[in-house]
Amino acid sequence: METISQGFSRAVNLIFSGDRELFEIILLSLRVSGAALLLAALIGLPAGALFALKRLPLRSLVINLMNTFMGLPPVVVGLVLYLILSRSGPLGILSLLYTPSAMIIAQTVLATPIVFSLSLAAIVAVDPVIRQAARTLGATPFQEALTLIREARYGITAGIIAGFGRVSAEVGAVLMVGGNIAHYTRVMTTTIALETDKGEFDLAMALGIILLTLSLLVNFGLRAMQRQGQVEARFRQWD
Amino acid sequence: MGLTLELAHIYKAYGGQQVVTDCSFTFEPGGTYVIMGPNGCGKSTLLRIAALLEKPDQGEVKFLNGGNPIEPDINLKRRLTMVFPRVGVFNTTVAKNVAYGLQIRGVAKSEMQARVDSALELVRLTHKRTQRALTLSSGETMRLGLARGLAIEPDILFLDEPTTSIDVANTKIIEQVLRRISQDKKLTLIIVTHDAAQAARFSGRLLFMRDGNLVDHL
């Protein structure tokens, strides 16, 4: 108990002391997760919208696969990417293994199905009269799609926030493809695992506090988006 | 010059039931047409087919400009609009809802503003322009739907049961607006209603839907 309370107070001190290593790790974590999320949004949102709006071939297979991939075990993603990116792998020539780029790829793979599935669900849930209205007011199919995406914005944002929650807390895949190299690929989650292994709890706890705060913020954001969506859905029922 | 709408031998069935049967009719530009008939007789289906929102099983929907047929492309579709009984309100302000059709046509901002203002004034919603559209009452929502359709200055305005689920005060405003448009004769009005008293209040040509076809009298 004493270890926990002492560790906690030292961790808080570390956070407020402006420790360089700590902030370097936080910054890299945010950079990797932010880039992965951006890529996941760039791939997942248009793809989700496409499958929501068009009767594409293999539609239900793709949707089922993406729903399944939402729960993809990070270590499996790490393993597959390791095999692909390692020197003898098909993309070994790119020398990406143990770089932040490899970590970004791993997190993109984890976040994309979440952004895809939640965007798709949000767009499909938009009242069909909205699409009808856009069409009769002269929207081209592309303008119609943009209108529906805008109408589904709360659900889509919730999906992106959920994706961020998933990747920022993830440890298995980034550890396997990033290698947890000090000052290069060491992020919050991998540092916590390493420091705990070493019995050095100050940095681990400090990062734990930051990660938890981040997770709290993500959840607050998610709840706020869901609440906003619910309020507006209620208004629609009166319509 | 306005658009002439020609329906030629239209057929449409739903779930094995024939709702529109060999329907042919010509709607002249600037005219007002009121289509009556009981619920489920196929009026709304016919309206959707005429507004190019649905394809007929058989037959042809033709648009003519000065006697010349026009391709049913996006440019033609942008000369038609329809107000549905359930107005699909966009989750934004009243003014932005009205501006939608103009925005997607790339209308200049100053002109857009003027057209939005005049459409809102016509349906008496100017005081609600900055309000979120989803917070309007059902009557106001229908007036918004009408303003949104009018703002794009269509050649043909289709209205499907525009006052079915709204109160007397809002019905009165909508009917006033429609009568004014009808008198101006700048656009073709095609109104579907099952309310005989309302149909009588419009000075347009009265049509009935009988056995899936449009007829002048029952």
Predicted confidence at residue B161, as pLDDT, reads: 92
Q: How confident is the model at residue A239 (pLDDT cuts 50, 70, 90)?
A: very low
pLDDT tens track for A21-61: 889 999 999 999 999 999 999 999 999 999 999 989 999 99
pLDDT in tens, B78-104: 999 999 999 999 999 999 999 999 999
Q: What angle do CA B179, B183, B189 make, to 5 degrees?
A: 65
Question: Can you tell me the distance from the alpha carbon of A82 to that of A172, in angstroms, rounded to the nearest whole number?
Answer: 12
B101/A238 Cβ within 8 A: no
Burial call A169-181: b when 16+ CB within 10 Å, e when fewer: bbbbbbbbbbbbe
Query: Are A136 and B74 inside 8 Å of each other by CB?
Result: no
pLDDT in tens, B135-168: 999 999 999 999 999 999 999 999 999 998 889 9
Cα separation, A33 vs A103, whole angstroms = 9
Compute the Cα dihedral for A151, B82, A53, A49 and give only its sign: negative
CA atoms within 13 A on the CB side of B159: 31
pLDDT of residue B218: 59
Q: Of the given ranges (A228-237, B61-70, B165-174), which has the lowest mean pLDDT?
A: A228-237
Contact A202, A19 (CB under 8 A): no
Residues of A in contact with B80 (CB under 8 A): 136
Query: Given this model, what pLDDT does residue A49 score?
Result: 96
Determine the Cα–Cα distance for residues A226 and B213; give it in Å rounded to an integer. Answer: 48
Average pLDDT in chain B: 93
CB B217 within 8 Å of CB B209: no
User: Which of B45, B89, B153, B167 best probes binding to A when mutated, by most A CB atoms within 10 angstroms?
Assistant: B89
> Would you state the structure tokens that stand for residue A53, as one six-digit string?
């709006």
Q: Is the pLDDT of residue B170 over 60?
A: yes
pLDDT tens for A122-178 read 999 999 999 999 999 999 999 999 999 999 998 999 899 899 989 988 999 999 999
Cα of A128 to nearest chain B Cα, Å: 8
Q: Which CATH architecture is the domain A2-238 placed in? A: Orthogonal Bundle (1.10)
Would you say residue A7 has pLDDT above 80? no
Contact B134 A239 (CB under 8 A): yes
What dihedral do alpha carbons B49, B55, B61, B64 form, nearest 10°? Answer: 90
pLDDT attached to residue A117: 96
Nearest-by-CA chain B residue for A142 = B104
**In sequence order, what E strands does chain B have?**
3-14, 17-27, 32-36, 58-65, 68-69, 80-83, 156-160, 188-193, 205-210, 213-215
Q: What confidence tens digit (pLDDT) does each residue in A186-235 have? A: 999 999 999 999 988 888 888 999 999 988 888 888 888 778 777 766 66
Residues of B within 8 A of A131 (CB-CB) are 88
Report CB contact under 8 Å: B84, A127: no
Residue B78 in tokens: 């942008």
pLDDT band at residue B1 under the 50/70/90 scheme: low
Does A142 touch chain B if contact means CB atoms closer than 8 Å? Answer: no
> Residues 82 to 141 of A: which have CB under 8 A from any B CB?
127, 129-140
- Can you tell me which residue has the tokens 């060491």? A186
Nearest-Cα distance to chain B for A164, in Å, is 26
Give me the count of residues in chain B: 218
- b/e burial code for range B78-99 (CB count within 10 A of at least 16 → b): bbbbbbbbbbbbbbebbbbbbb
> What ranges do the domains of chain B cover?
87-153
